[in-house]
Structure 1
């Protein structure tokens, strides 16, 4: 398998389920493949006996989502272990608790793929689908993975009205993907900031897409108070409103 695998396979995916399946077979970035598989073999003491996913992690959420949340990459002992974005790590604990608070998740915890969690009107993804060493993908790895994100955005275009980007790396990766997927991104590109709100016009005259910036839900940000639960739910609520999603704060079924 070559570095051209995403470029070759992503455009032909005719639906979100097909795209998700193709993502899981990608081996385009040798460094990421080696790291995700090494981590899967060695594991961590706390997860002894756990059968690690150790493959690329696809997006998670409905195929007709009105809102998307874009992170950075799966965590080595989070998504790389569980096989679901933001599931099984402290960052995910913060994110899903906030989505639940806003009324976009059926429960506040995400522990494994079969834990019953459902997302309502929102899909969670990342510009890099494999866990990177030190949580730092290279620009080349980001660019190699971009076709998956471009196609995901294209497939969601009929329903997606807002998008929340977590962190500067995700912001830098997502804006070019949005331009490829059919939205007009201003030049110079808007700078990342927590609370940034950039409406993008669709090239085909369709509805605008409202893009929001938010500090990443990393432990460094949440433990130091740079990102508080109130700050996170504030951005998610604004994005949900822009997407036309209602029942904010309604956590029941």
Structure 2
């Protein structure tokens, strides 16, 4: 699934070609995660994430922020991938782990725990004991963007990381859940470039949207689902309720063959 490997000498971490060069060359997720964390390819995002890490929010004044790109998190053999938007300025950009330390993550991990795909319902910091069962969480943009709005160029520059990540999950990947319209729109080109045939016109995003991409070569059939993003705006207004997300995660888990994967949640 990884994109073609550019030739030539390795670019510097601040070079726009850094992701495109290194992502397809990563041999495993540990190497990919290390490369992601060292990327400085998008100047606006580098400046913003580091400024946030320096100034900090008053509630977290005594904490040292991560302030770097945030790698994906979860099982290295995940059958279900969850693709969001980007790390939050005072969430993942602070804690160094996707969806950790903010309201969106609290909502998502509580729902994953409710369906037996997470070891606990909370995510506060790296090393808090959280484990995901058969699930990996990532994003098409790995740096916190100003106003949660990456530019199309930033999205495209970062895209090789997501392509390589899905590739490294291998043929065991059976389902991908996109959180929000941005995640949906960023994910489809990655899958299309990998050789899966996308419907035309491309399916519109919506909560509960689902398409099945036929098996292609060494890749098995892939189910793609959409969900409203568990942002504060969506959850506080009731556009996305906890029951809605639990139901969709249960469907995604079933399609991925993960029913009963984790321990009983009681």
TM-score, scaled relative to structure 1 = 0.97
Aligned to 2:200: 187
Aligned to 2:63: 50
Deviation at 1:158, TM superposition (A): 1.6
Partners of 2:179 and 2:201 lie apart in 1 by 20
Match status 1:168 vs 2:145: no
Deviation at 1:184, TM superposition (A): 2.0
Match status 1:41 vs 2:54: yes
2:121 is aligned, of 108, 111, 115, to 108
Aligned to 1:120: 133
Aligned to 2:105: 92
Q: Does the Cα contact within 8 Å between 1:194 and 1:214 map onto a contact in 2?
A: yes
Partners of 2:249 and 2:265 lie apart in 1 by 18
Q: Secondary structure at the residue paired with 2:224?
A: strand
Name structure 2 gaps, 5 residues minimum. Answer: 1-13
Aligned to 2:254: 241
Aligned to 1:140: 153
Partners of 1:205 and 1:151 lie apart in 2 by 16
Partners of 2:107 and 2:80 lie apart in 1 by 18
Q: Does the Cα contact within 8 Å between 2:214 and 2:222 map onto a contact in 1?
A: yes
1:26 is aligned, of 39, 43, 66, to 39
Partners of 2:149 and 2:264 lie apart in 1 by 34
Match status 1:211 vs 2:218: no
Deviations 1:60-118 (A, max 9, x none): 00110010100000000000000000000000000000000010000000000010000
Partners of 1:157 and 1:231 lie apart in 2 by 29
Deviation at 1:187, TM superposition (A): 2.4
Q: Does the Cα contact within 8 Å between 1:201 and 1:207 map onto a contact in 2?
A: yes
What's the C-alpha RMSD, in Å, of the aligned pairs? 1.4
Match status 1:199 vs 2:212: yes
Partners of 1:28 and 1:109 lie apart in 2 by 32
Q: Secondary structure at the residue paired with 1:213?
A: strand
Deviation at 1:48, TM superposition (A): 1.2
TM-score, scaled relative to structure 2 = 0.92
Q: Does the Cα contact within 8 Å between 1:53 and 1:83 map onto a contact in 2?
A: yes
Aligned to 1:67: 80
Q: Secondary structure at the residue paired with 1:108?
A: coil
Deviation at 1:248, TM superposition (A): 7.3
Q: Does the Cα contact within 8 Å between 2:83 and 2:138 map onto a contact in 1?
A: yes
Deviation at 1:150, TM superposition (A): 0.6
